Amino acid sequence: MDALSWTGPLGTFLNPALGVGGALLALGIITQIVLDFFAAPVTLQANKDGTLQMRGGLLGTVEIGNKYLFFFALLVMLGYLIGGIVTPYGTVGIVGELSRQFLPVWIALIGTFGLSITYKRKLGLYGKLFDSNIGMIGFGIVMFWVYTALFVGAFDWIATHDHLSQVSGMKNKLPGTTAPDGTAGAIPHYLLGGDNLARDIFSRVVAGSVIVIAIAPLATLFAFMVGITLGLPAGYYGGRLDTFLSFVANLILAFPVILLFYLLVTPEIVETGIPSFMAVVLFIFPLIFVGVLLNSRYHTQPAKRSAIMVPVLGVLTWLYLSIINQPGTVIDVLPGWFDLFDISILVVFVSVVFVNAPTVFRIVRGITLDLRTRDYVAAAQTRGEGAWYIMLWEILPNARGPLIVDFCLRIGYTTILLGTLGFFGLGLSSESPDWGSTINEGRKLLIIYAHPALPPAIALLSLVLGLNLLADGLREESLKD
């Protein structure tokens, strides 16, 4: 079987259309920018109803033309994607086959957007996200990688080959190269080529998304649990408690982030058991947070409180013990049949939580210092509510906007940190398909072979960009509340 080109036979028709459309769009954008310098400003009160007035003359014509050219380019690109799904194998080349492999993701995205837009008025802040174009784009990019990780990790879909299998003759092969006969794989080509160990780059990139999606959001969530549990009382009570906790947070933040990672994930530090003891301390905060949350809400209903707290905290304690328990380390307290899972990258997880928690603490503390003086807090104090009830059920809900935005941004920071760890070979195994490790392996021959390093780099860039756009959309909508 012949090697695949990027766009295949169908590209004979689509490539010229995209090239001409893209060139005209670029020319139109440049023309619009130049004409904007000489055009009169248009204010929001241009029309009687307060809407923006359409520009006239040459500039208005160029703006309308650019809009149509943009949609034309999107239509052509959609032709590549749909063509890869509905046409025979290889008709749209590598681009089409990539689209075909991601078919479950496209279906999931269409279903998610369809349901979300239909019921957006009933979905609170999440529903309002679909009123923001930037937010929708960011959400789409993020959910693309979330669904990719889900389908790869849970169902072993999307990937075309085993990401650890080395195939003789495929070392540093270019994208679209035909794999040797008898090679196990869903398709007979390496869509994005082979790396320096003759492994399929496309399969390693999609497998790497599982690691990123599994670690970054959960580690960020744990960091928020630590920061919220400590930041609320620090800001609400103030005094010596605030001084002490702020000093500890500032002490941790005084160290460069990368240096902290180096110190925590190096084999010498891991052998001392320090990361395991840190996990014991840091991962107990979700139990404390949930326990105090439920107790403060139902403290006047002891029977109901016990009925809710006992099973919830029982399950969380089981999860907590399973997380911190690592066979063969200093924390090995659970029998094998009782241990739910073994987190082989616990040291990375701990490092991310430890580095992010002080920043979250400072944000929560600052918001609490502001909100504790509001009227609804004074009203709750007048009713005789306890301090933790006020912090968790009055102050925290009113701080959700900035915290949700920061949560999205912090997942992006965590993704970059994970990529940095993988790039320097710290905390993760040498065969790990995480994007940082894959970029590091590809950059060694970057001048000769660019294709091994570019796909994971683009994947990392797109996920972080999506998270930033999502945060911008959420911030824009939260300000309207």
Whether pLDDT at 478 is above 80: no
For residue 449, which phi and psi values (nearest 5 degrees)? -125, 110
Tell me the pLDDT tens digit for each residue of 156-169: 889 988 888 888 88
Tell me the pLDDT tens digit for each residue of 400-430: 888 988 898 889 888 888 888 788 777 677 7
Structure tokens at 88: 């025979």
- Specify the amino acid at residue 149: A
For residue 200, which phi and psi values (nearest 5 degrees)? -70, 120
Alpha helices in 87-200 (DSSP H): 93-101, 103-118, 124-128, 133-155
Helix then strand then coil, in percent of the chain rounded to 5, is: 70, 0, 30
Q: Give the whole-angstrom CA distance, residue 116 versus residue 280.
A: 39
Tell me the pLDDT tens digit for each residue of 270-291: 777 788 888 888 889 999 999 9
Which residue in 312, 353, 363 sits closest to 217, CA to CA?
A: 353
Tell me the pLDDT tens digit for each residue of 65-117: 888 888 888 888 888 888 888 888 888 888 889 999 999 999 999 999 999 99
The proportion of the chain whose per-residue pLDDT surpasses 90, expressed as a percent, equals 25
